[in-house]
A and B are shown apart, each in its own frame.
Chain A
Amino acid sequence: MQIIENKLIKEKIYIEKLKSGFTIMCIPKTNTRKKYAICAVGYGSNDNKFIKSDEDKETIIPDGVAHFLEHKLFEQENGTNSLDTLSALGVEANAYTTNDHTAYLFECTNNFEEALAELLKYVQNPYFTNENVEKEKGIITQEINMYNDEPDWKVYINCMKALYKINPIRIDVAGSVESIKKITKDILYECYNNFYVPENMILTLVGDFNPEQTIEKIKTKITIKSKLKAQVIEEQEEFKINKKEISEKMDISTSIFSIAYKVNPIEKEKVKRSLAIEILLEILFGESSKCYKELYERGLIYENLSTSFEWGRNYAHVLIQGKSENIKEVEKLLKQTIKDSEKQGIEEKNFERAKRKLYGMYVREFNNVDQEAIMFTSNYFKKVNPFEYIENYKIISKEYLEKVQKEVFKEENYVISCIKPKESDE
């Protein structure tokens, strides 16, 4: 068993990889009655083209299969639905799909053992029929339509479409109303059998546990057959944006925008670099920055300006999002800010404040059972030890930031996506 510890934030992770390849990760917490369990599979919406371990030809599946599987896995052969069974135990059960993994989870204060047994049972025992697959299409169609009405989501996905030509990050996790029509029981089984394999699965537990005993007990309940995982085909895309701008109109009151810089997705120093980019974004556009003050006091942005750095398999980009009645002016000011900063360098006091803010943000990630379980799971699939962020925080220098700044904010990698009100004549 591997144990990783961070003394500053007083956290320990216990990791055990079973013979079958199945991984169990346990993060013990005291002073809480809550227990959180996530069983996750390294299979997400980006995995839509692959070669099975026992074939040599390529398989291409419709968009939205990972998410469809997530919906259908709850159904059991005896006619019960595990979501209902878990809920009847008084536990809060749910599931979600991302671009690189699918997670099945519950949180509880009571009945942990029964709930965990149910979770492991349903994740390891799929039951799909033509009838239950058809029925789900109505529900997922409603889910897709709901997102299509959400301007914030729309502006984001359009931004991804502007950034990427091939990378599946540009498609909706749930697929489209058209693509899910093509999903059948056989496709679901095919994907389940080729991705839901021990080496591609992890169980994350956070809460009041004795890690050694808990892991020992759980081992016997992992019965899923070993099989080699299908090899996902990743088409490398050129490090070049797809489109400068995407603009759409919707029934909304104020324009919103997603501005992004495409960043080269390199593996080297990924944590250190991502931390540096987040610090930079704080310094340049954070709430205490000169740029933010000007945007705010001139009434150019409204509510707030949010910035983030997103990265994963073969993609990385900086995002700057907000609401404005004058997006052109916002763009101008953002670009000017970057130019000035490159010329004048970074001020020590701004650097210190941004570092402190980021430190606080990372400590918060370890503050509650739910957040932690989700964070550890998603970092596992990114192959990152989450303590690295806290550790790297100390070693980032101003010079390193200045170097990263030059790499990240390149005009040729800049895109913008806007959603404008119907009435606007822009």
Chain B
Amino acid sequence: MNYIKEQIKDGVSLHLIINENFKTDFTVIFLSIPLKKDTVTKNALIPAILKDGCRKYINYQSISEELEMLYGALFDCGLDKTGDNLVLKFYIESINDKYLPEKNNNLEKVIDLLFEIVFNPLIEENKFNEKYLKLEKKNLELLINSIKDEKDLYAYEKCINIMYKDSGYGISKYGKIGDLEKITSENLYEQYKKIISSSKIDIIVSGNYEKESIEQKIKENKLIKSLNPRNDILNKNNYKTEIKEIIQNPEIKKEEMDIAQGKLVIGLDILPNNLGDFRFIAIVYNSIFGNGVNSKLFQIVREKESLAYTTKSEYIVQKNNIFIRCGIECEKYEKTVELIEKLLEDMEKGDFTEEDIRKSKEYILSGIDSINEEQDSQILFKFGQELSKLPLSLEEYKENIKKVTKNQVIEFAKKIQINTIYFLKSGGKNADN
């Protein structure tokens, strides 16, 4: 694998990842901006309306026709919340020419198409198409309403929302239905222009291609040339900036829905400590405690006590949090929470063996080794590095994991506090939205 990063302009970067491992090429555009309450709903509409048509391909149907002619290239777009920032993402996955029945210049055509969709939208009289805006508003409304259809995700979002309220990380990336009314095709176009001129832009091409020709093609593209240089306006979220305060009692919130299985989410804070760059300790801690089949959550909550089918914990590096998520029988709530509290205490007491650490590290290291084995995980890793401003090679990453000691994990465990317990349980009433 060969990776080259180039600064096209201030705030606009091109990342070329060249490898021969895959039959597909990925072309990706990420537009990153701070996550704000007053713009989030508008931002959520932008990828949706861009996919409905651009100047060259005036509706979704003609974009789809072009994608199909490129041997079923797959387009997708969406939103990601990364710390207190929002990423608008657009990508096309296409078949590499080497595996086509004939030469088609698939990648070159895909790059052009993606640039057209993102940077040359369908604008009439300084505004987006009214008909499509109406449609996308309706779609977004349905999407926001449907969050509660996926109970596990709904419970997770709810817990985050309780912990961070309505600011930064607590904001739902899809925004609020109440905002939709005020959004017009004019002010949405204004917001689009603002994003294009101020967001951090990352263009990533991954696949098996000639570096020079693709690089030149992108740099000389008119739409890329017309982009202005921009300053970095993103929020900084990392293990140093996210300071958590000690709280006396965790917040407990229970809601009811008509469901068979209860969803328990516990939000943990990582308190200030003197462990330095503790990210790697946190990864090992999380792995022993709740990630993977050898973890305490899986072995004890699921296997030993049969309390859950799904049970895991996830470390959110940008926010100094760990979230525990379990699907449990509703009557077993008290028992499960007590057990999890005990398992957290066990971690503090050092109730785990060197063998547990070794197993966890093995599991983490093999995860790191497989990052380069998939195009999308490779792209996301590179992009994550780009956003975190704490660049790290995979080798360094592995070395740092190997260095973590049992004592460090115990010290780290003492700095974990329960912030919030959220439980979605069965009951006749609907949860309030």
Contacts and interface: CB of A to CB of B under 8 A. Distances in A.
A171 to B, nearest CB: 18
B369 A299 contact: no
A302 interface: yes
Contact of B131 (A139, A297, A357, A363): A297
A244 interface: no
B162 interface: no
Interface in A102-149: 107-110, 135-143, 145-146, 148-149
B22 interface: yes
Contacts of A140: 309
A359 interface: yes
B299 interface: yes
Interface string A329-367: 000000000000000000000000110111111011011
B21 interface: yes
A263 B99 CA distance: 33
Given A87-B359, A354-B68, A369-B373, A363 B146 contact: no
B421 to A, nearest CB: 19
B69 interface: yes
Contact of B146 (A254, A354, A357): A254
A142 B329 contact: yes
A109 B369 contact: yes
Interface in A300-338: 302-303, 323, 325
Contact of A254 (B94, B142, B151): B142
Interface in B345-374: 358-359, 362-363, 365-366, 369-370, 372-374
A93 interface: yes
B123 to A, nearest CB: 19
Contacts of A323: 142, 146
Contact of A90 (B69, B142, B363): B363
A84 B71 contact: no
Contact of B145 (A33, A81, A146, A254): A254
A287 interface: yes
Interface residues of A, number: 68
Nearest to A86: B293
B261 A149 contact: yes
A33 B306 contact: no
Interface in B13-35: 19-24
A88 interface: yes
B184 interface: no
Given A110-B366, A252-B146, A253-B142, A356 B19 contact: no
B99 A363 contact: yes
Given A32-B373, A33-B369, A357-B72, A367 B24 contact: yes
A327 to B, nearest CB: 14
Question: In the complex, which range does the number of interface residues on chain B fall in?
Answer: 35 or more
Contact of B20 (A31, A91, A107, A292): A31
Interface stretch (B57-65, B166-174, B188-196, B222-230): B57-65
Contact of A357 (B21, B61, B71, B148): B71
A360 to B, nearest CB: 3
B138 A31 contact: no
B327 A142 contact: yes
Contacts of B358: 88
A34 B101 contact: no
Interface in B253-275: 257-261
A303 B362 CA distance: 40
Nearest to B261: A145
A34 B134 CA distance: 47
A62 interface: no
A30 to B, nearest CB: 9
Contact of B64 (A108, A287, A422): A287
Contacts, number: 181
A142 B309 contact: yes
Nearest to B72: A360
Contacts of A10: 98-99
B47 to A, nearest CB: 14
Contacts of B373: 32-34, 109, 368-369
B306 A138 contact: yes
A212 interface: no
Given A149-B259, A151-B149, A364 B60 contact: no
B302 interface: yes
B73 A360 contact: yes
Given A83-B293, A109-B373, A142-B329, A356 B24 contact: no
B143 to A, nearest CB: 8
A292 B329 contact: no
Contacts of A296: 60, 135
Contact of A139 (B70, B306, B430): B306
Nearest to A352: B69
A28 interface: no
A231 interface: no
Interface string A1-28: 0000000111000000000000000000
Contacts of B145: 253-254
Closest 8 CB pairs of A and B: A360-B72, A138-B306, A357-B72, A90-B362, A142-B309, A90-B366, A288-B64, A253-B145
25 contacts: A8-B99, A34-B373, A88-B294, A88-B359, A90-B366, A107-B370, A108-B366, A138-B306, A139-B306, A139-B308, A139-B309, A141-B329, A142-B306, A149-B260, A287-B60, A289-B61, A302-B138, A303-B143, A323-B146, A325-B142, A353-B68, A357-B67, A363-B23, A364-B23, A368-B373
Given A84-B294, A146-B261, 17 more contacts: A84-B293, A90-B363, A93-B293, A142-B306, A149-B261, A286-B68, A287-B67, A288-B61, A299-B138, A303-B143, A356-B71, A359-B101, A360-B94, A360-B95, A363-B23, A364-B95, A369-B373
Interface of B: 19-24, 59-62, 64-65, 67-73, 94-95, 98-101, 131, 135, 138-139, 142-143, 145-146, 148-149, 151, 257-261, 292-294, 299, 302-303, 306-310, 327-329, 358-359, 362-363, 365-366, 369-370, 372-374, 430
